[in-house]
């Protein structure tokens, strides 16, 4: 039976959706990780730390849905990428998962006892649960800071990093990672920007966003600071995806084993079924996320750090 959407288009759609899910995780769970990573430094007293924790207490669990959705989408749409990344980056993945396990335990147990030493230990557990995933994801996707992002761009432009396909691919053909036909090619990561100049908007946004965030912080304009930080994250993730396309997971050891959009996806039928379900489930996630943020929107203060059975 002929499907209404061809295989090439489905692969492109799921490559784009994978980026959307990564961005969704970054913009929601990202500030949860940042809050936990800064906890020991921005709050000194116990009421202050309870206030910081409860600033994300109502939303951090829901925000992790994006992480689960992203992992599930990669598993279903890009099984080769899922398998290779989890085995090749086993230690990094183990550190991330171990740190993420500390977060819910820290949130739940920190205030179970009034003992200062007890709470301090859980505060540092929350710090690890926020700092380690942010560091690993930052280095893996777009480097840990805007400075390293800039240095990475210079290295790509001047030191000859990149990969290139050596033959025409059949975007409608079956996935076969053994037939990638890839070679290392200096400067190839910049090829897409020459063919499609509009893509330059991604790295520009990656630099402009943090600058706007810095200006917002200096001027006390919270919306500008948050919006600039979010724009920077979107730009950095988009830069990685657009620079590497069609590569998803290139191999520096054996370029011929690199995984691309055309050789690492699930079958045509699988991608179509997943896409048919997405317009039903993804809006539900977006709607309940928006509803939770609307209902629970507002500032907290030191009174929220006082003992309360509804607070952490």
pLDDT tens digit sequence for 153-186: 666 666 667 778 877 777 777 787 777 778 877 7
Q: How far apart are CA 287 and CA 83, in angstroms?
A: 32
Query: Token pair for residue 111?
Result: 């205030």
Q: Name the pLDDT band for 212 (thresholds 50, 70, 90).
A: very high
pLDDT confidence band for 13 (50 / 70 / 90):
very high
* pLDDT > 90 in the chain, percent: 16
Candidates 202, 205, 182, 207; CA nearest to 192 is: 202
Over residues 139-158, the mean pLDDT reads 62
Among the residue ranges 60-69, 98-107, 151-160, 189-198, the one predicted with the least confidence is 151-160
Whole-number Å distance between alpha carbons of 167 and 186: 17
pLDDT for res 156: 65
Residue with tokens 């896409």: 275
Of residues 263 and 152, which shows the higher confidence score?
263
Number of H helices, E strands in the chain: 12, 4
Inter-helix orientation angle 7-42/46-55, to 10°: 170
Give the dihedral sign, CA 220/226/228/229.
positive
- The answer to whether the CB of 133 falls within 8 A of the CB of 33 is yes
Q: Is the pTM of this model over 0.95?
A: no
- Is residue 242 within 8 A of residue 202, CB to CB? The reply is yes
Residue range 225-282, pLDDT digits in tens: 889 988 988 998 898 899 889 989 888 788 888 889 988 899 999 999 999 988 888 8
The residue among 78, 205, 63 whose CA lies nearest residue 142 is 205
């Amino acid at each position: 039976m002929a499907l209404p959407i061809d295989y090439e288009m489905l692969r492109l759609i799921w490559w784009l959706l994978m980026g959307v899910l990564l961005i969704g995780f970054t913009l929601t769970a990202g500030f949860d990780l940042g809050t936990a990573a800064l906890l020991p430094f921005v709050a000194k007293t116990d009421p202050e730390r309870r206030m910081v924790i409860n600033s994300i207490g109502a939303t951090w669990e829901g925000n992790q849905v994006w992480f689960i959705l992203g992992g599930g989408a990669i598993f279903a749409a890009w099984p080769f990428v899922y398998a290779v990344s989890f085995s090749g980056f086993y230690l990094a993945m183990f550190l991330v998962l171990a740190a993420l396990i500390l977060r819910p335990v820290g949130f739940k147990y920190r205030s179970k006892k009034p003992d200062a030493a007890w709470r301090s230990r859980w505060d540092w557990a929350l710090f690890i649960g926020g700092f380690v995933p942010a560091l690993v994801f930052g280095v893996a996707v777009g480097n840990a800071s805007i400075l390293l992002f800039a240095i990475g761009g210079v290295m790509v432009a001047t030191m000859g990093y990149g990969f290139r396909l050596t033959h025409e691919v059949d975007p409608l053909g079956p996935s076969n990672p053994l037939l990638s036909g890839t070679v290392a090619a200096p400067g190839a990561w910049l090829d897409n920007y020459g063919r499609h100049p509009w893509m330059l908007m991604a790295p520009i946004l990656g630099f402009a966003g943090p600058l706007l965030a810095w200006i917002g912080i200096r001027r006390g304009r919270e919306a500008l600071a948050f919006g600039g930080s979010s724009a920077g994250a979107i730009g950095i993730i988009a830069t990685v995806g657009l620079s590497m396309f069609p590569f998803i997971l290139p191999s520096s050891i054996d370029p011929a084993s690199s995984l691309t959009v055309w050789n690492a996806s699930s079958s045509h039928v699988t991608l179509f079924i997943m896409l048919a379900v997405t317009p039903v489930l993804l809006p539900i996630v977006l709607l309940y996320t928006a509803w939770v943020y609307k209902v629970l929107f507002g500032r907290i203060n030191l009174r929220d750090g006082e003992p309360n059975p509804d607070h952490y």
